[in-house]
Each structure stands twice: as C-alpha cells, then as structure tokens.
C-alpha cells in the first residue's frame, strides 16, 4: 500500500473502474502504462482465467484480469513486473506487485488442496473457498530473512548463480517451520558462508512479489569463522571494503538499502530511506 494505492476486496460484479491484465509475459501495457479503463479492457479478446477486485488507485477501483495466455491487443505490449520495480512510478509498482501476488495465488488455488474440488472466490475477504470442506485458502506469503553482515569497514556480500553478472548482494533465505526470524538468519548465514554472527538488529521489511516473499531485513556483526561457500547456492562470497564495493543490487531493493544504510553510517553521510 502507499499514498496512492490501497488494497481492498471488491466484488467483480460491480462495474467500472480501472483494470490491469496479467499473462505469462507480465502486464499488458500501452503508452499510458498498465492501467486500462476496465469496460474497454473487458471488450478485448483476452483469455481471462479469473477476475479480482484488488483495491483503489487514486480513489478509483482497480481490478485484475488474470489471463491463461498472452493474446494480442492492438497498440499494446507486455512488460514484466521486474521492469516496473526497476524504473518508473513506485505506486504503480506496488499496485502491480499486489496484483501479481493475488493472480499467482488464485491461479494456484483453483482446486481444494484437501479434497480436490473446485474452489470459489469469496467477496468479503481475500480467500478461495471450498464448500465441501468449509476450507479457506488465503494468499501465500513467504517470510525471508535478509542480512548484511559487517566487520568494521568490511561487509560480507555474495553472488548466487541466479544473479545478474558481476552483482554481489546480502545473504538471504526463506524461514522454515519452527524457526524465529533470528534462528533463520543464523542458519542461513551458517549454511551459505559458514560464518557466525552476533548483535542482530532488525532494520525494516519489504514486500518482494517474486513471487511471494516478505523480506525482513537485518544488520548483524561478524562473530567468527572463515568463509566456506555453499555449493550450488553461492558462486562467490567475499568481504568488501566500504570504499571498494562491487556492482550492487537494484536501487529499490531492501538488499541495496541495507548496504547503503551501513555505508552511509560508516562514512557519516545522510541515511537513505527504504522504499516502502
């Protein structure tokens, strides 16, 4: 949510408003962006799997058309969510990030995980419902810890084989059942680089809709151990001096914020603000 964008459960039976369409290649866009007059968009030959009322943008209702396949709409193209995260209006990115998470979840919860029968949308809360089991499934959110480990002027950064060439980032990993945030952080750092940490401090959080992570960001100090990289997960890990940093993650990511915040504090510069 943001100043311009708030989530809400809106009944698709009501008419009007804006709509976004999401297919396998991302969101439908034209020169004005990804928001289209809903009645116009629904007249296009789109292969709609489901429709969801997702919230308000500048006070106007917004709906998501989740598509089975990418079709052709004259004058329009497709744009992935990552592009919206990297550049352009952040409120629009927040709206589309939410739409993507709702679309993914609804697509993956069409059938009851308990009995296998078709589920239906309910319109007073964000849930899919199985009448047979009286079971509700809510949108999936996966808590992930992300941590900048520091040792004075040095910060510990690593590369996953999945990263853009040359980029180094903070360590991250998904929480497992039974863990606290701190347990998870200590385990992930141990698994990925075999380092021990102390003085864990919570910094802030960020929704990361790729596809449904909730990043909880921390700072921790080095407490011991030599770097041993986890095979397959970590391609390289090093201590970098704050004056000689490698290519870093995208400006709006919490990974980048954790790095920029520490460097600013170390160098006595103004502190950056985490994009909400």
Ligand X SMILES: NC(=O)c1ccc[n+]([C@@H]2O[C@H](COP(=O)([O-])OP(=O)(O)OC[C@H]3O[C@@H](n4cnc5c(N)ncnc54)[C@H](O)[C@@H]3O)[C@@H](O)[C@H]2O)c1
Binding site for ligand X (CB under 6 A): 142, 144, 146, 169, 172-174, 188, 206, 208, 210, 213, 215, 233, 249, 253-255
Sole binder of Zn ion in the list 41, 46, 112, 148 (CB under 5 A): 112
Nearest residue (CB) to Zn ion, 130 versus 189: 130
Q: Is 174 helix (H, G, I), strand (E, B) or coil?
A: strand
Binding mask 165-184 for Mg ion (x = CB under 5 A): -------xx-----------
Who contacts 180 (Cβ-Cβ below 8 Å, separation ≥6)?
none
Q: Is 255 annotated as a binding residue?
A: yes
Residue 176, CA atoms < 13 Å, CB-side half-sphere: 6
Question: How many residues of this chain interact with Zn ion, rule: CB under 5 A?
Answer: 6
- Give yes or no for a contact between 12 and 53, defined as CB atoms under 8 angstroms apart: yes
Look up residue 211 and give its two tokens.
Answer: 């596809």
Separation between Cα atoms, residue 13 and residue 273, nearest integer Å: 40
Pairing of strands 213-224, 142-151: parallel
Query: Which one of Mg ion, Zn ion, ligand X, none is in contact with 103 (Cβ closer than 5 to 8 A by kind)?
Result: none
H/E element, 60 = strand 60-67
Q: Is 61 annotated as a binding residue?
A: no
Query: Least distance (Å) from ligand X to the CB of residue 140?
Result: 8
Query: Least distance (Å) from Zn ion to the CB of residue 76?
Result: 38
Sole binder of Zn ion in the list 8, 14, 115, 164 (CB under 5 A): 115
Pairing of strands 18-23, 60-67: parallel
Q: Is 172 annotated as a binding residue?
A: yes
Look up residue 144 and give its two tokens.
Answer: 């992930």
Look up residue 234 and give its two tokens.
Answer: 């970590």
Establish if 143 lies at the interface with Mg ion (CB under 5 A): no
Interacting residues toward Zn ion by CB under 5 A: 112, 114-115, 130, 132-133
Numbered residues of the known binding site for Zn(2+): 112, 115, 130, 133
Interacting residues toward Mg ion by CB under 5 A: 172-173
């Amino acid at each position: 949510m943001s100043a311009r964008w708030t989530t809400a459960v809106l009944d698709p039976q009501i008419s009007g408003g804006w709509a976004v369409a999401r297919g396998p290649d991302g969101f439908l866009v034209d020169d004005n962006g990804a928001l289209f007059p809903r009645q116009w968009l629904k007249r296009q030959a789109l292969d709609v799997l489901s429709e969801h009322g997702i919230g308000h943008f500048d006070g106007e209702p917004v709906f998501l058309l989740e598509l089975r396949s990418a079709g052709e709409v004259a004058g329009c193209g497709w744009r992935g969510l990552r592009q919206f995260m990297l550049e352009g209006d952040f409120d629009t990115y927040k709206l589309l990030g939410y739409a993507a998470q709702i679309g993914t979840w609804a697509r993956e919860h069409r059938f009851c995980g308990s009995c296998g029968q078709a589920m239906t949308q309910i319109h007073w809360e964000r849930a899919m419902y199985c009448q047979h089991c009286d079971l509700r499934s809510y949108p999936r959110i996966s808590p992930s810890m992300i941590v900048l480990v520091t040792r004075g002027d040095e910060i510990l950064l690593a590369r996953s084989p999945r990263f853009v060439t040359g980029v180094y980032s903070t360590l991250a990993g998904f929480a497992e059942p039974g863990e606290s945030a701190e347990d998870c952080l200590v385990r992930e750092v141990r698994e990925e680089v075999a380092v021990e940490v102390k003085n864990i401090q919570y910094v802030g959080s960020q929704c990361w809709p790729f596809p449904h992570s909730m990043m909880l960001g921390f700072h921790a100090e080095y407490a011991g151990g030599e770097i041993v990289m986890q095979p397959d997960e970590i391609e390289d890990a090093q201590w970098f001096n704050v004056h000689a940093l490698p290519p870093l993650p995208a400006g709006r990511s919490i990974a980048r914020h954790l790095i920029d915040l520490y460097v600013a504090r170390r160098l006595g510069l103004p502190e950056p603000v985490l994009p909400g």
